[in-house]
Amino acid sequence: MPVSKEIHLKSRPAGVPVPDNFELVETNISDPGDGELLVQNIFMSVDPYMRGRMREEWPTDHVLMGGAVGKVVASNNTDFAVGDHVNNQLGWREYFISNGQGLNKVDASIAPLSAYLGVMGMPGLTAYGGLLVTGELKDGESVFVSAASGAVGSVVGQIAKIKKCTVIGSAGSDDKVAQLVDEYGFDHAFNYKTDDPLTELRKGAPQGIDVYFENVGGKQLEAALTHMRTHGRIPICGMISHYNDDGTASPGPTNLMEAIYKFITLRGFVVSAFMDQQAQFLKDMSGWIQSGQMKYHETILEGIEKAPEAFIGLFSGSNNGKMLVKISDDS
Amino acid sequence: MPVSKEIHLKSRPAGVPVPDNFELVETNISDPGDGELLVQNIFMSVDPYMRGRMREEWPTDHVLMGGAVGKVVASNNTDFAVGDHVNNQLGWREYFISNGQGLNKVDASIAPLSAYLGVMGMPGLTAYGGLLVTGELKDGESVFVSAASGAVGSVVGQIAKIKKCTVIGSAGSDDKVAQLVDEYGFDHAFNYKTDDPLTELRKGAPQGIDVYFENVGGKQLEAALTHMRTHGRIPICGMISHYNDDGTASPGPTNLMEAIYKFITLRGFVVSAFMDQQAQFLKDMSGWIQSGQMKYHETILEGIEKAPEAFIGLFSGSNNGKMLVKISDDS
């Protein structure tokens, strides 16, 4: 009957979230009943999409939710044995009781546990499906991805390179920009805080962009529309520059009309659209990781107390690659 | 060797076009040479898309271009006989010499000549292809079309009714709003100058919109995004509220993020995408006209001198249905 520390949403963020929006609460966890199991989380994920859910959907004074990987520490469920590793949607807490629904076993022998919250998990599948299915990427095209050093963006760029594309990425620091080119193999990269996006797109892809993988919105979307080629595609994965817009919604692109004469398609999606691609995705991705074609970084904060700080850091770009919180050791 | 009056672009419009941007010029037309023919235009079309071309593409101090229907008055071309009616892209002038390229004969016995600039012509095919091909309309869905009493919008709404859809339209006067419901058979209509678009969409389609046929931009696009159903489609035909934005581009929708969770597709198109649908379009459309399912209105100004006034009137909505200029009698 462990005591579980968990993070509650204390109040709804106004603009950029602050530590006061969150509260650490201790809860007594009961023993698992018939058919139930007890999971101890090892890693939890913080993701930009959570900001949207905090606007209305998720209740205040209630534990938050999100992707996590844990280990089974007690089980009365024949499908799960003590020691199994399970992917779950009950992050932001140390322990939970489950009847097994919504848990997926993961194989720690083909990829590290933390990767199942990144390249092998939701962000990886988001990148894979958004680029190949929604974006209808063809070999050899020109691709621009914003927030390119993030968990999704870095996978987008590397898949595009595997598909023999010209790849441009943007990030928010010169170190990250260097990493995009030197480590992830991007053809061109720029710092969106100091460089003009349109100038950089023209530099990196003089003939124009076929696919813009949209993570950010704002001026980068405008530049992409202007520099888009005929029949270009813009899979809209996120618009992090707008996530903290409460009350004062920032305007959309002034040049959506570019879409008309260039037959551009903008299409929103979330990862649930690609659940039927999951098996092929895991096969492709584990192969790319093992062959060295897919690299990834993680920024890991230690201790569930750090979860709010990790989440808030997403909006200032304090992460390099996937932002995670380590909740316990895998032992 | 007739003298032809024609309209030149004298200066590029800044904002809404004014009469001074145009100039009436008289030109001597030579006799047709070998293989050539002389065409006298009967009707010419003014269309919103022309505003965009005046920004850069079309030269100043040069005759303008656009759809027209004329008659062959002299011919040394075996493909065309005196008296033939031809659709052409050389409007804004009384006469022209042609070698026959770009001319299409039209049949005045199955539809009035002027209709070949409207429901049977480019605006009709734009509506047909934009709704059925780009918009992927399914029978029985909910459709919203802005600028619904215009040449394209009125056809969009009536095709949607033929396809058993719930149809909402917006227009800029109470008379036009009444016409949408009483004559074109729309289920609901509103005056975008006095009514709140989102309130009206909720009234006309409580379950949400499946297809928004976008002609306008601005607040109507925002309302449509908010009230769109999952997997909704927004074929972007035009954004007339932005056409006169020179220098002071008005912002795009603040809520493009709605596209993400609702898997919305926005897709630009121009009529050239549907050239391979032309035969089926003419067959369907002439059938609908003859059965009384497709009604249309024309606003016809008399004399080529009125062409600038007709064009400028598009931006204040002074037309009811297709705006045309009658250049000569068909005799």
Task: Please report the domains of chain B, with CATH numbers, ordered by start residue.
Answer: 3-118+297-326 (3.90.180.10), 122-273 (3.40.50.720)
Give the span between the Cα atoms of A245 and A240, in whole angstroms.
10
The CA distance from A180 to B144, in Å, is: 44
* Mean predicted confidence (pLDDT) in B99-111: 91
Which of A233, A242, A263, A264 would best serve as a mutation to test chain B binding (most B beta carbons within 10 A)? A263
Determine the pLDDT at residue A142.
98
- B129 contacts in A (CB within 8 Å)? none
- B252 contacts A268? CB cut-off 8 A: no
Q: What is the mean pLDDT of chain A?
A: 94
Contact A263 B268 (CB under 8 A): yes
Among A217, A245, A265, select the one facing B267 at the smallest CB separation: A265
Strands B166-171 and B142-145: what pairing? parallel
Q: What is the count of residue pairs from A and B with beta carbons less than 8 Å apart?
A: 101
Band (B247; pLDDT cuts 50, 70, 90): low
- Lowest-confidence segment of A244-253, B91-100, B153-162, B164-173 by average pLDDT: A244-253
* Percent of residues in chain A assigned helix, strand, coil, to nearest 5: 30, 25, 40
Closest partner CB to A252 (pick from B236, B256, B263): B256
Determine the average pLDDT of the residues in B159-188: 97
- Least CB-CB distance to A236: which of B251, B260, B268? B260
Whether A298 shows a pLDDT value over 90: the answer reads: yes
Q: Return the residue of A nearest to B256 by Cα.
A: A252
- Which of the residues B257, B261, B265 would you substitute to probe the A interface, choosing the one with the greatest number of A C-beta atoms within 10 Å? B257
C-beta atoms of A270 and B261 within 8 A: yes
Tell me: pLDDT of B248 over 70.
no
pLDDT-derived band at A241 (thresholds 50, 70, 90) equals: confident
Q: How confident is the model at residue A249 (pLDDT cuts 50, 70, 90)?
A: low
B268/A245 touch (CB, cutoff 8 Å), yes or no: no
* Dist CA A197 CA A219 (whole Å): 7
State whether B268 and A259 contact (CB < 8 Å): yes
The closest alpha carbon to A39, from A81, A96, A118, belongs to: A96
Complex ipTM > 0.90: no
Mean pLDDT of B211-218: 94
Is it the case that residue B241 has pLDDT exceeding 90?
no
Please write the tens of the pLDDT for every residue from A160-170. 999 999 999 99
Give me Rg for the CA atoms of chain B: 20
pLDDT at residue number B249: 66
Beta bridge mates, B9: B22
Task: Report which listed range, B56-60, B161-165, B238-242, is most confident.
Answer: B161-165
In angstroms, the separation between the Cα of residue B247 and the nearest Cα of chain A is 11
Contact A239 B257 (CB under 8 A): yes
pLDDT band at A1 (very low <50, low <70, confident <90, very high): confident
Each residue of A24-53: pLDDT tens digit?
A: 999 999 999 999 999 999 999 999 889 989
pLDDT tens readout for residues A268-284: 999 999 999 999 999 99
Dihedral pair phi/psi, residue A264, rounded to 5°: -80, 140
The predicted-structure confidence for A188-233, as pLDDT tens digits, reads as follows: 999 999 999 999 999 999 999 999 999 999 899 999 999 999 999 9
CA B200 remoteness from chain centre = 25
Taking only the tens place, the pLDDT of each residue in B273-312 is: 999 999 999 999 999 999 999 999 999 999 999 999 999 9
Asked whether the beta carbons of residue A259 and residue B270 sit closer than 8 angstroms, the reply is no
Yes or no, beta carbons of B263 and A263 under 8 Å apart: no
* B318 to chain A, closest Cα gap in Å: 24
First to last CA, chain B: 18
> Over chain B, what is the mean pLDDT?
94
pLDDT > 90? residue B251: no
A-chain CB neighbours of B152 within 8 Å are none
pLDDT of residue A84 exceeding 70, the answer is yes
Q: Look at residue B331 and tell me whether its pLDDT is greater than 80.
A: no
Dist CA A307 CA B197 (whole Å): 41
pLDDT above 60 (res A247): no
SS3 content of chain B, % helix, strand, coil (to 5): 30, 25, 45
| Alpha-carbon dihedral sign for residues B224, B225, B228, B231 | positive
**What is the rounded CA–CA span in Å between residue A78 and residue A94?**
23
The residue among B68, B70, B67, B95 whose CA lies nearest residue B84 is B70
- So what's the pLDDT on residue B244? 67
- For residue B317, what pLDDT is reported? 82
Give the pLDDT band of residue B158 (cuts 50, 70, 90): very high
